[in-house]
Amino acid sequence: MLPVDEITKLCYDHFRNLPKRGKPELGREWTLLAAVVEVRQKPKEKIEMKVVSLGTGTKCIGRAAMSPKGDILNDSHAEVIARRGCVRYLTEQLRLAVSGDKGSVFCSSEEMGKWKVQPEVSFVFFTSHTPCGDASIIPMVGSPSQVCPPVRPEGAEDKGSSAPKTALKRRAEEPEDQASKRPRPEGEGHQDLGRPDKEMKTGSPPQPEANQPSEDPCKPSDGEAHTGQSGDAEEQQAQDIHRTGAKCVPGETSDPKEPGAGYHSTGVLRVKPGRGQPTLSLSCSDKMARWTVLGLQGALLSHYLKEPIYFRAVVTGKCPYSQCAMQRALCKRVSQVTDLPAAFRVHTPELLQSSLEFSHSQPQTQHSHHSSKGRVSPCGAAISWCAVPEQPLDVTANGYKQGMTKKALGTPQARSLISKVELFHAFQTLVTSTPNTHLPASLRDKELQTYWDYKQAAGAYQQAWQQLRVQAFPSWPRSPRELLEFR
């Protein structure tokens, strides 16, 4: 069994030990954290774990700001940053493997040019919060709960104060137009379950304690402790739900926006809110559901891999959380997908929750906030760190390296190392360093030039994506090709 709190602590500690750049201002700004933890477990040996990628961030840019050069990060939600950092890490590990370095996480497979993750290694995805979108639509069942007790903020004294106990307030009783006019920090509401910010504190569902997802009131398998009703039944019974700021994509059943529990449709694809304009970025729940079938490695690395890399588990920090909403969002929606190409499958990760809360979460920040500090707001920067020898740290704001002058935007210096174009260049370096005889078949004797070309040439991956789209996500918006034709 995975040591859930140990994994969580590892991620929080790793964040704490990073330099200050890009971190939220204590007591005023909050952020979200996600990470990928590499787990090594040989039979009868002690489990070894290390963070190989970490991301923070709450923002997403609108359609108009997207770049055809692939040089801007469209989506800077922590989960997305953490996955992209992991792709950067894996690209470096493949480069090591190709050059014969035995320290790589990859070992050769029986197929020429294809590699696989060493058998004792697995990857766990950590997120400090429930992912935005479908997983954040959580029934509020039972008695009003209190906000998570405070945790010691980074570098601060623990004053030993207790959590404020506040009454459940139902935002659902407000008319939608009024709610939507309310000013929100930066016009974004990534911290789902907490939009607008005050209600975050007041309406948490009962919090499962450490490693006890069975306490979740809507977990279908939990027949003993509760009523034995299915998750759906519980959802119908709940008087209200936590909400997501992510909007249904065209073609999906739109939200009924009825008061209380009837506000949202569940199980549908959603796009993230941006700064007042629509984005093309799917919610983290949707992207994570996609990883459940396609793997976390993306199209490019799949050229080099014998099989996709799936997350063994998703660990969520202490926050409003529902096991059944997570199951619905990440697993149930894709569970029926069949006819996948060889090596692809529906891989349901273990869904676990920790008892430890992130000290820079929105509730913790509100708790330690002083009115003199200005209003509590999401941190505008996104931090990426990954386990690579050169420039592991990459801090961005608005999709470009933080601190860039307007004049520098568009230059290579302004690019994030996890932007599409930089990950593509790292991949091309891998291809160039691979001896011709050791190239995967999908890349041999091909005239591939653009990012689009290389992605399309990943045949099995594209087939799997096609099946997933047709069977589970027909409304998934396609990225415009003109945004992917850079070199």
> Does 329 contact Zn ion by CB under 5 A?
no
> Does 59 contact Zn ion by CB under 5 A?
no
**Residues 6 or more apart from 428 whose CB is under 8 A from it?**
none
Identity of the residue, 220 or 273, whose beta carbon is nearer to Zn ion in the bound complex: 273
Q: Which residue has the tokens 């304690």?
A: 209
Identity of the residue, 72 or 81, whose beta carbon is nearer to Zn ion in the bound complex: 81
Q: Tell me the residue length of the chain.
A: 487
From the CB of 131, what's the least distance to Zn ion, in Å? Answer: 6
Annotated active-site residue 79? The verdict is yes
CA dihedral 353, 355, 359, 360 (to 10 degrees): 20
From the CB of 132, what's the least distance to Zn ion, in Å? Answer: 3
> Is 14 in contact with 154 (CB distance < 8 Å)?
no
Q: Which member of 6, 29, 48, 79 is catalytic? A: 79
Identity of the residue, 122 or 384, whose beta carbon is nearer to Zn ion in the bound complex: 384
Task: State the burial class of residue 25 (Cβ atoms within 10 Å of its Cβ: 0-12, 13-18, 19+).
Answer: middle
From the CB of 289, what's the least distance to Zn ion, in Å? Answer: 13
> Does 116 contact Zn ion by CB under 5 A?
no
Identity of the residue, 55 or 440, whose beta carbon is nearer to Zn ion in the bound complex: 55
> Using CB under 5 A, which of the segments 201-209, 276-284, 303-311, 333-341 binds Zn ion?
276-284
* Alpha-carbon gap, residue 460 to 457, rounded angstroms: 9
Q: Which of 124, 132, 319, 383 binds Zn ion (CB under 5 A)?
A: 132
Identity of the residue, 255 or 307, whose beta carbon is nearer to Zn ion in the bound complex: 255
From the CB of 37, what's the least distance to Zn ion, in Å? Answer: 19
* Interacting residues with Zn ion between 337 and 366 (CB under 5 A): none
> Using CB under 5 A, which of the segments 282-290, 304-312, 371-379, 449-457 binds Zn ion?
282-290
> Using CB under 5 A, which of the segments 112-120, 227-235, 281-289, 467-475 binds Zn ion?
281-289
> Using CB under 5 A, which of the segments 212-220, 277-285, 324-332, 345-353 binds Zn ion?
277-285
> Using CB under 5 A, which of the segments 21-29, 130-138, 287-295, 416-424 binds Zn ion?
130-138
Rg of the chain taking only CA atoms, in angstroms: 22
From the CB of 329, what's the least distance to Zn ion, in Å? Answer: 11
From the CB of 114, what's the least distance to Zn ion, in Å? Answer: 32
Identity of the residue, 34 or 313, whose beta carbon is nearer to Zn ion in the bound complex: 34
From the CB of 332, what's the least distance to Zn ion, in Å? Answer: 19
Residue 102, CA distances (Å) to 105, 118, 390, 439 in order: 8, 11, 20, 19
From the CB of 191, what's the least distance to Zn ion, in Å? Answer: 9
Identity of the residue, 240 or 286, whose beta carbon is nearer to Zn ion in the bound complex: 286
Q: Which of 200, 271, 284, 421 binds Zn ion (CB under 5 A)?
A: 284
> Does 77 contact Zn ion by CB under 5 A?
yes
From the CB of 60, what's the least distance to Zn ion, in Å? Answer: 8
> Using CB under 5 A, which of the segments 69-77, 335-343, 382-390, 444-452 binds Zn ion?
69-77
* Alpha-carbon gap, residue 479 to 66, rounded angstroms: 11
How many residues at the interface with Zn ion, by CB under 5 A? 3
- Binding interface with Zn ion (CB under 5 A): 77, 132, 284
Which residues are known to be catalytic? 79
